[in-house]
Amino acid sequence: MNSRIVAKIIGVLLILEALMMVPSLIISIIYKEQDGVVFAMIIPLIALVGFLLSKIQCETKLIKVREGFAIVAFGWVVFSLFGSLPFYLSGSIPSFVDAFFETVSGFTTTGASILTEIESLPKGVLFWRSFTHWNGGMGILVFTVALLPKFGVGGFQIFKAESPGPVVDKIAPRINDYAKILYKTYIFITLLQISLLWFAGMNLYDAAVHTFGTVGTGGFSTKNLSVGAYDSPLIQMIIAVFMVVAGVNFSLYYALYKGKWSMVVKDRELRLYLGIVAVATFLITLNISPLYGNMLESGKYAFFQVGSIISTTGYATTDFNLWPTFSKAMLMVLMFVGGCAGSTSGSVKTIRILVLFKLIGREIARIFHPRAVIPVKLGKTSLQSNTVNSIVSFFVLYLLLFVTGTLVISLEGLDLESSASAVAATLGNIGPGFGIVGPTGNYSGFSDFSKLFLSFLMLLGRLELFTIIALIEPKRWIEEF
């Protein structure tokens, strides 16, 4: 492995992280809070470390698959370690393990939190907490890919290892142009939601923070009661709609911009995603209507929570832990669905679910026609066997990790509902689960070991499992020596 190029790119990432902390410093200065001193010390430190690493001389700047995986995996860990410093040094989170958990949760857009009191924290720290969602949402490294040509480095292998979903749909001939298009779309949607929330009555600070959590599908809020603290149906509906929007493949928004409406309308993954949202909302509305007295009120809560869970955002307007078992089971199923490939959401992804259903259909057809060659198709396109195999492998590995993780967390002595949903919520980058990790609970009661283990699951889920698994496989390390 070319460790020099790995260290060099991580150095570039750290410089980027230092720049990302500048808005939090500005917020601290505006609100005249003491955490500004902490940011003023941390930013130059991170920038210096990044600058020194970025100046490492490399014999070759070629990034192969292994280097791409290493940059992505180690980059996220290093980013999270340095990103923990504002929480830890400001005293907002006294335990470094807790600070690391909160930061990993932020960058991976999980939204799982150990904080029991949020509203008393300094504004700069809270801004950084949610800004990690926005930066991690589209992928820190996807943005870096757009900058790499300036360093004489190609970034396709990084993009492949970083980009969410089973297929990378290129909408531009060059990968750095593709990254720029994605971020322009990302920024436009962000500014649009901030404007709408501000118009709906939120102050600009809260509008920005909740938009970071929505567009990045993370779910950190400035309020202890999450979005439920805002007794405004308009604010709640804006956030609900944008959560669903954030779960859509961002390539489709660019297609809309280019006037390719038929491409969007015919997209089967999008149809399935929106269909699941509609059906789940309808069924949960019927099930919870006795709790809220009328269908309109029930539908409002149902749509918000369905959008929140399937997009893996994790915001809440009510304690869905108190809902009937059927509705909770529906939400649990949605935890294993997720949004579309190419979105900021986590979990399995709708396109994989679609392919799995088509694969089941093919196997049923083979019972009646055992000699028939029946391809798995998405529209008119036949999927290659290696793509189908990778999707099946991903799903099996995902379930194995869920089962194994549940067994590990159950050693805490928690009930099965809390243990299983905590693993599903962290592996799927969702945030809240059920039981003690429900919308009114958090992860503060877990041991340091469990917090680190759940942090590992968050990274696994955000990086699509195989990026991390490929690096920790013993055989790969033996080959290096």
Highest mean pLDDT among 68-82, 248-262, 275-289, 377-391: 275-289
Tokens 């531009």 identify what position?
172
- Does the residue 388 lie in any domain? no
pLDDT in tens, 33-56: 888 899 999 999 999 999 998 888
End-to-end Cα spacing for the chain = 10
Identity of residue 441: G
Mean pLDDT of 264-293: 93
Q: What is the average pLDDT value for the chain, to the nearest integer? A: 85
- Taken in order 358, 363, 369, 373, the sign of the CA dihedral is positive
* Interatomic CA distance for residues 226 and 321, integer angstroms: 15
441 domain residue, yes or no: no
pLDDT, average across residues 253-282: 89
Inside any domain, residue 145: yes
Residue 275 identity:
G
pLDDT tier, 102 (very low <50, low <70, confident <90, very high otherwise): very high
Residue 391 has pLDDT above 70, yes or no: yes
pLDDT for residue 176: 59
- Residue 187 domain flag: yes
175 band by pLDDT with thresholds 50, 70 and 90? low
The stretches of 61-166 forming alpha helices (DSSP H) are 65-83, 85-89, 96-107, 123-137, 140-147, 156-162
228-233 contact pairs (CB < 8 A, 24+):
228/316, 228/317, 228/318, 230/202, 232/200, 232/201, 233/300
Q: Please indicate, yes or no, whether the overall pTM of this predicted structure exceeds 0.95.
A: no
Instruction: Tell me if 238 is assigned to some domain.
Output: yes
Q: Which of 417, 275, 448 is nearest to 354 (CA)?
A: 275
Q: What is the pLDDT of residue 324?
A: 94
Q: What is the arithmetic mean of pLDDT over 211-236?
A: 91
> pLDDT exceeding 90 applies to what percent of the chain?
51
Q: Is residue 97 part of a domain?
A: yes
Average pLDDT over residues 280-302: 93
**CA dist list (Å): 57 to 4, 17, 37, 202, 278:** 7, 22, 34, 49, 54
Residues with Cβ within 8 Å of 403's Cβ and at least 6 positions away in sequence, in order, are none
Query: For 324-336, what is each residue's pLDDT tens digit?
Result: 999 999 999 999 9
Count up the domains in the chain and report the number.
Answer: 1
> Domain of 38?
1-216+226-245
User: Region 372-377: what's the mean pLDDT?
Assistant: 78
**Are 285 and 298 contacting, i.e. CB atoms less than 8 angstroms apart?**
yes
Annotated binding site: 109-110, 218, 312-313, 429
Binding residues for K(+) are 109-110, 218, 312-313, 429
**Which is more confident, 468 or 80?**
80
Q: Is residue 40 part of a domain?
A: yes
Q: Do the domain assignments include residue 430?
A: no
CA 49 – CA 14 distance, rounded (Å): 7
